[in-house]
Amino acid sequence: MRPRRRIFDKTASFAALLAILLSSLTAFRTYAGDNTASVIADTLQSRPVTSTYAIEIGGRHALSTYLSPLSYRGWNAALTGDWRKAMPSCPDHLLMHFNACASLSRMLNPYGNALMIGFDAAFNWGMSWRHVFKSKLQVEAGADVGIDGGALYLLRNGNNPVSALASAGLALRAGISRPFRIGRLPIVVSDHVRLPSLNAFFSPQYGETYYEIYLGNHSGLAHCGWWGNNFRIDNLLAVDLDFGRTAMRVGYRFNAYTSWVCNLNTHIFTHSFVIGIIPGGLGLKKRLPKAPNRTIYAIY
C-alpha cells in the first residue's frame, strides 16, 4: 500500500504543479494580449508633426526716435517655420506649436538720401486648446513663451548708428479655421493672431549712448512691457491648399511692433505676402472617421 500511496501523492503533486503552470501561462497570455493590443492601438494612432515653411515678402515702415525723427520705408523679406503636433493627452484638443522667424529689411528716409537696415529673429513655443464644431468651424486659444531680438542700423549716423531690439515674455494666441472645397481640391481658410501681453524688453535711456552702456552704465535698461508701453500684434490670414502628399500656403501677414519708454518712440509695421509649403499635406483627402488607427493632424 505504501508504494501506491507514494505514487498517488506524486501524481497529485504533479497535477497541481501542472495546473499552476497552466494558470500562469493563461494569465500571462491574457496580459500580453491586452498589452500588445494597447501598444498596437497607440502605434496605429499617429500624431505627425505638421511643418510649414514659408517665404514672406512685403513692405516695412519703421520709426526709431533714438536714431532719427524721420520715418523710413522700404522692403522686408523673411523666412518662417511653424511646427505643430497633437499632444498624447487629449490629442483631438491639445496642440503644441513652435515658431521661428528671421527677417531682413532695407528702408530709405522720405528724401531718399539715408539708408536704414533692419534685421531680427524670433522664437516661441506654446500650447493651444482647439475645438471643432458640428459646422466644421475650428477655434483655438492658448499661450506661448518667446524671445526675439534684432536691430535697426542707420548708416548715416556716426555716433549712435544702431538701435537694439530685444524682449522675452508671454503671448496670447487665438485662431479660427474652416475647411472648404474648390471642386475636388480641399482647402482650409484660417486666421491666427498672436498678441504679446507681458514681457521684459530692452531700451536705453533718452540720450544714453551704447558706449556708455559698454563702460558699465547698465541701470534702467530692462523694462516691463505690456499693452500700454509695448503693444505688439502678429496676424496671419492664410489659405492652405491640400494636394494630398503636400500642401501649399498662400496668405497675408500683418506685424506691428510699438514701444514708448524713456521718451523714446519706436514703431515698426510690416505687411507681407506669404507663400509656403506643408510637406505631408493636411490629410483632408485621406482622413478617416474617429477610430484608434486614425491619423490626428495638428492644423485641422
In a domain, 294, yes or no: no
**Residue 234's CB: how many other CB atoms inside 10 A?**
21
Residues 35, 166 within the same domain: no
Residues 142, 270 within the same domain: yes
Residues 13, 114 within the same domain: no
Point out which residues pair with 108 in neighbouring strands.
Answer: 73, 115
Residues 25, 124 within the same domain: no
Mean pLDDT of the residues in the chain: 86
Going by the DSSP 8-state scheme, the letter that residue 205 receives in this structure is P
pTM for the whole structure: 0.82
Calculate what percentage of the chain has a pLDDT beyond 90: 69
- Tell me: the pLDDT tens digits for 42-59? 445 688 999 999 999 999
Torsion angles phi and psi, residue 10, rounded to 5? -65, -40
Residues 70, 40 within the same domain: no
Comparing 25-29, 52-56, 70-74, 114-118, the range with the smallest average pLDDT is 25-29
- Tell me: the pLDDT tens digits for 225-282? 999 999 999 999 999 999 988 999 999 999 999 999 999 999 999 999 999 999 988 8
Looking at residues 131-152, what average pLDDT do you find? 96
Tell me: pLDDT of 120 over 70. Answer: yes
Tell me: pLDDT of 39 over 80. Answer: no
Tell me: pLDDT of 35 over 50. Answer: no
Residues 22, 134 within the same domain: no
- Using left for φ > 0, alpha for ψ between -120 and 50, and beta otherwise, residue 90 falls in left
Residues 96, 234 within the same domain: yes
Provide the residue range defining the domain that includes 212: 48-279
